[in-house]
């Protein structure tokens, strides 16, 4: 008869051998240092590394367990004040630290969103400018299969065409981020709320079209589904590049 310890070891070995980790590789092609952040959705456990520094031209890999749902982004122009509090000019997560510890990005922020399936099932991913824009970015699957298992990219600098009423300016007066119309005006027709809370009543606006024209593969507003959602099966890894 097998003892309890042997049963435990066999069970543990089975779980490990059957586990699926998606390796996410982050690349910073921007001219300056950035600070990527991560947020697990729906109350799930936060990743062991949910905020880190990434120098210009540097890479970093992060293993994400499956199933997992969440988002990644990059913070810019970060520093510590005299008390040691860590803050960023764009996409700050409000933790006061390099790690975000369960906090999301303050808009405007360019986002990469994932739903990574268990057992190498169907993953979904997208780029989202629904919360505005701070940096160009892309996500590219490595392996996997499917009709839309392809790179999604937002290479344009939306800040360069951002209307003044949406613009966020840095201390030098330059535009460092572009708000969504929802964040700027907080009106139902831009936020897809109230009477505008379904696709039929919340069409694109002149503001969301600015984002879509610059980055056709990214979500430009809440119901921008037609060309913005990508999927892969087979358990691929993913490359996220900032300033591709």
Output the pLDDT for position 11.
Answer: 37
Tokens of 43: 């109350």
Output the pLDDT for position 17.
Answer: 39
The label of the residue with tokens 């590394």 reads: 49
Distance CA 42, CA 22 (A): 19
Output the pLDDT for position 227.
Answer: 74
Output the pLDDT for position 16.
Answer: 42
Backbone angles phi, psi at 132, to 5 degrees: 90, -170
The label of the residue with tokens 């040691």 reads: 84
CATH architecture of 21-242: Sandwich (2.60)
CB 136 within 8 A of CB 110: yes
Question: Which residues touch 222 (CB under 8 Å, ≥6 apart)?
Answer: 130, 191, 192, 202
Distance CA 210, CA 204 (A): 10
What are the residue boundaries of the structural domains of the chain, listed by start? Answer: 21-242
Output the pLDDT for position 225.
Answer: 77
Output the pLDDT for position 20.
Answer: 85
Task: Provide the residue-wise pLDDT of the chain in tens; the chain has 244 residues.
Answer: 444 444 344 334 334 434 589 999 999 999 999 999 999 999 899 999 999 999 999 999 999 999 999 999 999 999 999 999 999 999 999 999 999 999 999 999 999 999 999 999 999 999 999 999 999 999 999 999 999 999 999 999 999 999 999 999 999 999 999 999 999 999 999 999 999 999 999 999 999 999 999 999 999 999 997 778 999 999 999 999 999 9
Q: What is the pTM assigned to this prediction?
A: 0.90
């Amino acid at each position: 008869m097998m003892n309890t310890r042997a049963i435990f070891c066999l069970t543990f070995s089975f779980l490990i051998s059957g586990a699926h980790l998606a390796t996410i590789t982050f690349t910073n092609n921007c001219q300056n240092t950035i600070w990527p952040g991560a947020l697990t959705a729906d109350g799930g456990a936060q990743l062991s590394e949910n905020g880190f520094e990434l120098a210009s031209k540097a890479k970093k890999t992060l293993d994400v367990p499956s199933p997992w749902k969440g988002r990644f982004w990059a913070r810019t122009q970060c520093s510590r004040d005299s008390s040691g509090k860590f803050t960023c000019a764009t996409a700050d997560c409000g933790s006061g630290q390099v790690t975000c510890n369960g906090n999301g990005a303050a808009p405007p922020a360019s986002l990469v969103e994932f739903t990574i399936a268990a057992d190498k099932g169907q993953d979904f991913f997208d780029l989202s400018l629904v919360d505005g824009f701070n940096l160009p970015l892309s996500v590219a699957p490595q392996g996997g299969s499917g009709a839309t298992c392809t790179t999604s990219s937002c290479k344009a600098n939306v800040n360069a065409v951002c209307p003044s009423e949406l613009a966020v300016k840095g201390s030098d007066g330059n535009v460092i981020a572009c708000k969504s119309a929802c964040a700027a005006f907080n009106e139902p027709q831009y936020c897809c709320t109230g009477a505008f809370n379904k696709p039929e009543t919340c069409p694109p606006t002149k503001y969301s079209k600015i984002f879509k024209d610059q980055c056709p593969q990214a979500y430009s507003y809440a119901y921008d589904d037609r060309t913005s959602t990508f999927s892969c099966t087979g358990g691929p890894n993913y490359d996220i590049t900032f300033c591709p």
